[in-house]
Chain A
């Protein structure tokens, strides 16, 4: 009984402290261009939510803006749309690596999609390659 109890307690403890998904170490669920993901969200947001939310997305595109706000890096990827873009909020580690990035450069980023406001938003992004 005691053994069973301690096993349960152990698993409960493990569950409680379950780590977040490690984006850097995980394979992406979907890989596509910044244009494609934005078009999917602007044409049918609900359908796109079902496909992309909480998935690890690898997105490639051209950088239109690089900035750091509140010590966190934000990279904007250009699209053909007038209003929308893909906003990639970088992880702490990726923020340290972003100082070489320039506007106009093409890039591949991997992050978790949280949805669409004016732009498609990815969080916890890692730089896959440059």
Chain B
């Protein structure tokens, strides 16, 4: 099993890299914001893994659902148990391409990112705008977008429909560093 893993990872890393051209962060930040009549809810996750292959402009992101921390313990419990069903679907992922990646340089550039977002076991293609800066030792990405909970088959019971927005605002900030191993 360990061997399989090692081989798998070797291929994974060979596949997405040519040595110096991989940028990575293990503590990317994603937060979401739900604005509803009854209450505003925010949650922050500072343990997001994001990898950019600087030769192809491919981007891969992995998110642990249980790493989203809420102000109120009860909200976090409901999120994990009822809505995201984090035991069944512990991770959300994004895999995609940064379009026109070569145009990104040291000045702040807005580029489109296109790929597949998977949350709650449901995959959906998204195209969003994100702000990039790229230097020799960092690729910084930030931005925001809206997701609709219905798209990801997340059911919000009518009783609490006034407490939770149907459209959730997601914002992100990743500071990728060159990865040498």
**Chain A interface residues (CB < 8 Å from chain B):** 15-21, 42-44, 49, 53-54, 69-70, 72, 74, 82-83, 87, 89, 114-119, 121, 123-124
Interchain CB contact under 8 A, A83 and B66: no
Q: Which of B67-75, B110-118, B122-130, B139-147 contacts A (4 or more CB under 8 A)?
A: B67-75
B-side contacts of A54, CB under 8 Å: 66, 80
A-side contacts of B76, CB under 8 Å: 20
CB distance from A71 to the nearest CB of B (A): 11
Interchain CB contact under 8 A, B72 and A118: no
Interchain CB contact under 8 A, B67 and A114: yes
Interchain CB contact under 8 A, B29 and A87: no
CB distance from A112 to the nearest CB of B (A): 8
**Chain B interface residues (CB < 8 Å from chain A):** 1-2, 5-6, 9, 26-27, 29, 46-47, 49, 62, 64, 66-67, 69, 72-74, 76, 80, 87, 90-91, 175, 181
**A83's closest neighbor in chain B, by CB?**
B9
B-side contacts of A43, CB under 8 Å: 1-2
- Cα distance A89–B67 when bound, in Å? 11
Interchain CB contact under 8 A, A121 and B47: yes
Interchain CB contact under 8 A, A118 and B66: no
With contact pairs A17-B72, A19-B73 given, residues A117 and B47 touching in the complex (Cβ less than 8 Å):
yes
With contact pairs A43-B2, A70-B29, A115-B90 given, residues A121 and B64 touching in the complex (Cβ less than 8 Å):
yes
Interchain CB contact under 8 A, A70 and B64: no
Interchain CB contact under 8 A, A16 and B74: yes
Interchain CB contact under 8 A, A89 and B26: no
Select which of A16, A49, A69 is within 8 A of B27 by beta carbon.
Answer: A69
Interchain CB contact under 8 A, A114 and B29: no
B-side contacts of A123, CB under 8 Å: 47, 67, 69
With contact pairs A54-B66, A115-B67 given, residues A21 and B181 touching in the complex (Cβ less than 8 Å):
no
Select which of A17, A82, A114 is within 8 A of B64 by beta carbon.
Answer: A114
**B6's closest neighbor in chain A, by CB?**
A82
Interchain CB contact under 8 A, B181 and A83: yes
CB distance from A122 to the nearest CB of B (A): 9
- Cα distance A70–B45 when bound, in Å? 12
Interchain CB contact under 8 A, B26 and A119: yes
Interchain CB contact under 8 A, B9 and A16: no
- Cα distance A128–B171 when bound, in Å? 34
Interchain CB contact under 8 A, A70 and B181: no
